[in-house]
Copies of this chain bind each other. A is one copy, B any other.
Amino acid sequence: MDSPARRKSTRTRPSKPPLGERAVVDAGLRVLRREGLDAVTMRKVAAELDTGPASLYVYVAQREELLRLMLDAVIATVPLPALPAPPPGDWRERLAGLITDVVHTLNAHPGIGRVSLGSIPTGPAWLDLFDRILGLLLAGGVDRQRAAWGCDLIALHIGAVTYEVAVAQPAHGDGPDALQGALESRHAQASIEDRLAALDPERHPHLAASTAELTAGPAAARLALGIEVLISGLAPS
């Protein structure tokens, strides 16, 4: 379009101010909050920083590593109880509260929880969190081995719950009329309610008798049940 002299072709801009890992992670989080996890592509994150995808690989080995760093950055925002020893209040309540906080924080960044399912998180913020969880379990008198594996179990549950929520509400932004798109595309898998309403009481007697209970209840109550089940299942009898 412009004259060839005007061409900025290879290497025009004077190499931007340096990025840094932190800047890359923050840009990723911005894209995540705005458009959801699937939109966190190397290209979009790079565009957020007004550069090309290749530039990100100086600070991040892979997309997956970027996601791990983002996940840890999110977990780092969860307020943790003070270290030395938790006040002696009911350990179950304290643990349930902590897990609830984590889940809510993760849900504010839709989909990021999936990353924790891929590999047991080992970032610094996760280690802090695990230590508190383990401490609470031990304080509750849970067997050492059971507490250790319980820690794992809780992390797994957190990942699963936050992943599921993210799929239910596909992303918030994604530009204008995202809701429209989410509804009309998707090839319309029959909803769970429809499936439950249509099932044969002969073949699925229990499901048919419980349709109301299966679809009932606010998400918060379901979340609370899951956490309660985990804790009371782990607690010493």
Which residues of chain A have a CB within 8 Å of any CB of chain B?
Answer: 61-62, 65, 68, 83, 117-120, 122, 127-128, 130-131, 134-135, 138, 144-153, 156-157, 159-161, 163-164, 167, 187, 189-190, 192, 195, 199, 203-207, 210, 213-214, 216-217, 222, 225-226, 228-234, 237
Contacts and interface: CB of A to CB of B under 8 A. Distances in A.
Nearest to A205: B131
Contacts of A62: 187
Contacts of A144: 210, 213
B160 A210 contact: no
A107 B89 CA distance: 41
Contacts of A231: 233
Interface centre among A128, A131, A152, A229 (most CB of B within 10 A): A229
Given A128-B203, A233-B233, A210 B148 contact: yes
Contacts of A117: 117, 160, 163-164, 167
A229 B234 CA distance: 6
A119 B122 CA distance: 27
A61 to B, nearest CB: 4
Contacts of A228: 233
Contacts of A205: 131, 135
A118 B204 CA distance: 23
Contacts of A118: 163, 167
Contact of A148 (B119, B131, B214, B237): B214
Contacts of A150: 225, 229
Contact of A204 (B65, B127, B167, B210): B127
A149 B225 contact: yes
Contacts of A160: 117, 156-157, 159-160
A214 B151 contact: yes
